[in-house]
Amino acid sequence: MFGNLRRRLAGTLPLDDRMEKGQVRNRHSRVCLLASLSAFFWFVLLYFHFVMLGGSSVVTQSNPATVNTESIKKIPRNPNPIHVSSHVASDSPKFDVSREKEISANGKSKDESLKIVKSSNVKHLPVNKKDRAHSQMAKYPFMRALRTRENKSDPCGGRYIYVYDLPPRFNENMLKECRSLSLWTNMCKYTTNAGLGPPLENAEGVFSNTGWYATNQFAVDVIFSNRMKQYECLTNDSSLAAAIFVPFYAGFDIARYLWGHNVSTRDASSLALVDWLMKRPEWGIMGGKDHFLVAGRITWDFRRLTDEEYDWGNKLLFLPAAKNMSMLVVESSPWNENDYGIPYPTYFHPAKDADVFIWQERMSKLDRKWLYCFAGAPRPDNPKSIRGQIIDQCKNSKVCKLLECDFGESKCHSPSSIMQMFQSSLFCLQPQGDSYTRRSAFDSMLAGCIPVFFHPGSAYTQYTWHLPRNYSLMR
Ligand SMILES: *[C@@H]1O[C@H](CO)[C@@H](O)[C@H](O)[C@H]1NC(C)=O
Ligand SMILES: *[C@@H]1O[C@H](CO)[C@@H](O)[C@H](O)[C@H]1NC(C)=O
Ligand SMILES: *[C@@H]1O[C@H](CO)[C@@H](O)[C@H](O)[C@H]1NC(C)=O
Ligand SMILES: *[C@@H]1O[C@H](CO)[C@@H](O)[C@H](O)[C@H]1NC(C)=O
Ligand SMILES: *[C@@H]1O[C@H](CO)[C@@H](O)[C@H](O)[C@H]1NC(C)=O
């Protein structure tokens, strides 16, 4: 998967970019080797813990989708400072795609590495060694959780999740301070209804009468932790748990401080959280490898490379403890092992399966008068952005519909205008914005409009738990 991404990049980037990537790769190859050796051991452990436990059931929620309401002020960043006008409306959080160059292009995808470990370890381990490994394993504290899977009368065997009762400053208190969660958007409205936001009226008949909410694209922190409360296999006995959920609102936390706050303010909650976690008995069992957290922001908000004030975000995902945990984010990094991409939330939160089928039926019968459409703002300051081209070509085409998101409040921020356009179009163009991914991709899928991606990181290498890698091969 990742090999694919790299090949594509090499094929499409200018020569100097390619050379730069090549150098980075060489420099990192030894580190890579070491990393993969140590990773090997942990994959074996994780394999037993998660794969045999069927631990992928960790993420049982599916909240596709979101709202594009946040105007984002960009700040110039090293090593490629960019000068950006300060009021560009943006549909994705801030991230300079040029960061690609800063990060080593190494290794395999997470899924691929897991597969390799699985086959090499399981197939080639001689039988007597396997037995010995098995009896040694029995000593580990996590074996109790593993054995719940063998209990045929326990429908939750292997699926138990333990949720930490964190001090409220890590979650609930942030909701009380909802006005401070974003510089541009009053998030108070969006944290209601367990994070779904207020119900949307169906005045124009674009939605269904129920199940539609004004959901903010960054609300996953609170949506997920509330959904987790309804999970049927919660346990208060952490020794039975296949995974341990840390309900820290990491996305809300950093969103408050992304602009105009110093690095110590930005890092404070992350450091306090890690300090709290490492004192729990649950942490010692696997050094946090069975812990996961969920944040509705892009991984780059948590991956500050240096402690320089101009550098972006906090360093949560680079903390040693966080490297042991798994973080679910709306955009993950292809170069790191401790984060996983999950979809942005959409406006649709159906209460039952039947609501989904009715919706699908309706979308499949629509008359789509536009061949293609685009909703978004140009990126005039990014010479690599294809958005300006797309907007120009759309304007000149009789078969394209455009929703421009230039300044302030526009139709582009109205859920019904967006969904109406997507419902009348066959293809929905989803070029990168400030980062690889867009909530809009999920809105278009919901509307039955075929998303068109311009970068593998926008979907194919991103949402491997949720989307087929290649839909063309699925028939
Ligand atoms: C198996 O699961 C059932 C139902 O949860 C429980 O009552 C029983 O104690 C479990 N057995 C063992 C050996 O853990
Ligand atoms: C865990 O303990 C809390 C507080 O005692 C209780 O409210 C909750 O129902 C318990 N959960 C489970 C799954 O037993
Ligand atoms: C960072 O900002 C906080 C709050 O504004 C302030 O109290 C603190 O002294 C600052 N720290 C540094 C190192 O500048
Ligand atoms: C991460 O896991 C490794 C391997 O179990 C362990 O040695 C290390 O102490 C853990 N890190 C933290 C911060 O607990
Ligand atoms: C998907 O498969 C088709 C048919 O084999 C191929 O032409 C296309 O390039 C693939 N797309 C991606 C993104 O891998």
Summarised one tens digit per residue, pLDDT across range 416-444 is: 999 999 999 999 999 999 899 999 999 99
81-107 average pLDDT score: 36
- CB of 251 within 8 A of CB of 297? yes
Phi, psi dihedrals of residue 330, rounded to the nearest 5°: -70, -15
CA of 58 to the centre of ligand 1 (A): 21
Note whether residue 248 is domain-resident: yes
Q: Which atom belonging to ligand 2 lies closest to the Cα atom of 235? A: 13
Q: Is the pLDDT of residue 5 over 50?
A: no
> Among the listed ranges 1-10, 242-251, 266-275, which one has the minimum average pLDDT value?
1-10
Same domain, residue pair 187 and 330 = yes
Same domain, residue pair 441 and 321 = no
Note whether residue 347 is domain-resident: no
Note whether residue 460 is domain-resident: yes
Note whether residue 226 is domain-resident: yes
Cα separation of 214 and 211, whole Å? 10
Same domain, residue pair 125 and 243 = no
User: Among 317, 341, 365, which residue terminates a domain?
Assistant: 341
pTM: 0.76
Note whether residue 150 is domain-resident: no
Note whether residue 113 is domain-resident: yes
What string of H, E and C letters represents the secondary structure of 393-443? HHHCCCCEEEEECCCCCCHHHCHHHHHHHHHCEEEEEECCCCCCCCCHHHH
Q: Would you say how long the chain is, in residues?
A: 475
pLDDT at 207: 96
Residue 69 binned pLDDT confidence (cut-offs 50, 70, 90):
very low
Q: In a mutational test of the pocket of ligand 3, which residue from 261, 262, 267, 308 has the highest number of ligand atoms less than 8 Å from its CB? A: 262
Selection from 110, 117, 111 nearest residue 47 by Cα:
117
Number of domains in the chain: 3
Note whether residue 440 is domain-resident: yes
Domain that holds residue 120: 2-52+109-144
Note whether residue 151 is domain-resident: no
Question: Count of alpha carbons within 13 Å of 425, Cβ hemisphere only?
Answer: 29
Same domain, residue pair 294 and 439 = no
Same domain, residue pair 167 and 258 = yes
Q: Is the pLDDT of residue 2 over 80?
A: no
Tell me the pLDDT of the chain averaged across its residues.
Answer: 78
Same domain, residue pair 37 and 130 = yes
Return the exposure string of 300-324: e unless at least 16 CB atoms fall within 10 Å of the residue's CB, then b: bbbbbeeeeeebbbbbbbebebbeb
Same domain, residue pair 281 and 381 = no
Same domain, residue pair 215 and 325 = yes
Q: Which atom belonging to ligand 2 lies closest to the Cα atom of 236? A: 1
Same domain, residue pair 166 and 20 = no
CA angle 432, 390, 331 (to 5 degrees): 10
User: Among 341, 370, 402, which residue terminates a domain?
Assistant: 341
CA of 168 to the centre of ligand 3 (A): 23
Cα separation of 414 and 430, whole Å? 18
Same domain, residue pair 332 and 360 = no
Cα separation of 186 and 172, whole Å? 17
pLDDT at 112: 46
Strands of 243-245's sheet in order across: 161-163, 243-245, 291-298, 326-331, 339-341
Same domain, residue pair 196 and 328 = yes
Q: Is the pLDDT of residue 265 over 60?
A: yes
CA of 266 to the centre of ligand 3 (A): 10
User: Among 296, 316, 341, which residue terminates a domain?
Assistant: 341
Q: Is the pLDDT of residue 246 over 70?
A: yes
Indicate whether residue 265 lines ligand 3 (CB < 6 A): yes
CA of 146 to the centre of ligand 1 (A): 13
Q: Is the pLDDT of residue 66 over 50?
A: no
Same domain, residue pair 230 and 296 = yes
Cα separation of 330 and 443, whole Å? 14
pLDDT at 226: 97
Residue 472 binned pLDDT confidence (cut-offs 50, 70, 90):
confident
